[in-house]
Amino acid sequence: MQSLYPLKFQTIYKDKIWGGQKIKTYLHKDFGNLPNCGETWEISGVKSDVSVVADGPLKGNRLDSLLEEYKEDLVGKKVYDHFGDIFPLLIKFIDANEDLSIQVHPNDELAKKRHDSFGKTEMWYVVEADPGSTLIAGFNKELDEQEYLDKFNSGQLTDILNKEDVKSGDVFFLPAGRVHTIGKGLLIAEIQQTSDITYRIYDFDRVDDKGNKRELHVEEALAAIDYKHYPEYKTSYHPKENETVKLLSCPYFTTNLMDFTESTEKDYSGLDSFVIYVCLEGDYSIKSDGETYPVKMGDCVLLPKTIDKVQLETVSGFKILESYIE
């Protein structure tokens, strides 16, 4: 059996009605003949879009096939026992040239009942933000379902939504049930559960290139929405150079920020999980088992569980998101 190594995957490009050009102009990823690119799926176990290894001895292998073959060696015993042959995280970049729809995602229980799927808890890291960019996360007051419906039916839904001014480096945690949308001018790195279930609540009456409005899921969303009001929606953290800074931890993933101007070593021998690196800035090389794997901005790398120690070597410095399951 081929030994596992740090894995990169072929990027899956998705054009969207609201997508733009930053995937190409900022991240330098070529989406070919698509008119725009709203999302890239960098590491995916979603059945309709399973990632394929981009290079090395395992080039051309699908992520689900690797899981079936390598099992806990790829993802860790605890993770494999819980998720089996489904890779548990989906990693994306999102470029919003226009506001996305106002939407919500179901939790595990509702998603299992309705769709035989995982729910969708996610987080956003703002990679780049145009001046004046905003997003929506949660409500600006305590609500119940009836008050929500009254506002929705009277065309006043946006009056009760919490709008946030956004800049590069901002982090938002979006548990299943939180109404949200990414605003115009934002380039975001997203880490989420493996699920593609979205209930679209309002889409600003947009039409596609054929003049059709996109489907809404107003009724389905009612049971999924968390109507509570929370004092803070933006994740607070204190950036530090050359240290691993925890951004957030939930049952589905833990994500840290590594903003380094110098080379460093990481020891994962005490962690029963795979690790994912999302490169936000700069470049570096992963050294593992005598091999060197170059990484640049926009690259995402999956470190299998069997890799306990790596050296991250850099000249120019790097900023990465480090994610795993605790």
- pLDDT tens per residue across span 228-245: 999 999 999 999 999 999
Residue corresponding to tokens 């595990």: 108
Percent of the chain surpassing pLDDT 70: 100
Q: What is the mean pLDDT of residues 298-307?
A: 98
| pLDDT at residue 209, as a whole number | 74
- Residue 50 · residue 62 · CB < 8 Å: yes
What CATH class is the domain 12-222?
Answer: mainly beta
**Confidence check: pLDDT of 152 > 90:** yes
Q: Active-site residue 200, yes or no?
A: yes
pLDDT digits (tens, 9 = 90+) for 40-86: 999 999 999 999 999 999 999 999 999 999 999 999 999 999 999 99
Which residue type occupies 140? N
Q: What is the mean pLDDT of residues 171-186?
A: 98
* Non-local CB neighbours of 29 within 8 Å, separated by 6+ positions: 11, 13, 23, 37, 40, 93, 298
Q: CA torsion sign, 72 to 74 to 76 to 78?
A: negative
| Domain map (residue ranges) of the chain | 12-222, 244-324
Decide if 12-222 and 244-324 have a common fold: yes
**Confidence check: pLDDT of 227 > 90:** yes
Percent of the chain surpassing pLDDT 90: 96
Counting beta carbons within 10 angstroms of the beta carbon of residue 127, is it exposed (0 to 12), middle (13 to 18) or buried (19 or more)? Answer: buried
- Greatest Cα pair distance, the chain, in angstroms, is 64
What is the value of pTM for the model shown?
A: 0.96
**Confidence check: pLDDT of 208 > 90:** no
State the catalytic residue, choosing from 62, 114, 178, 200: 200
Fold of 244-324: Jelly Rolls (2.60.120)
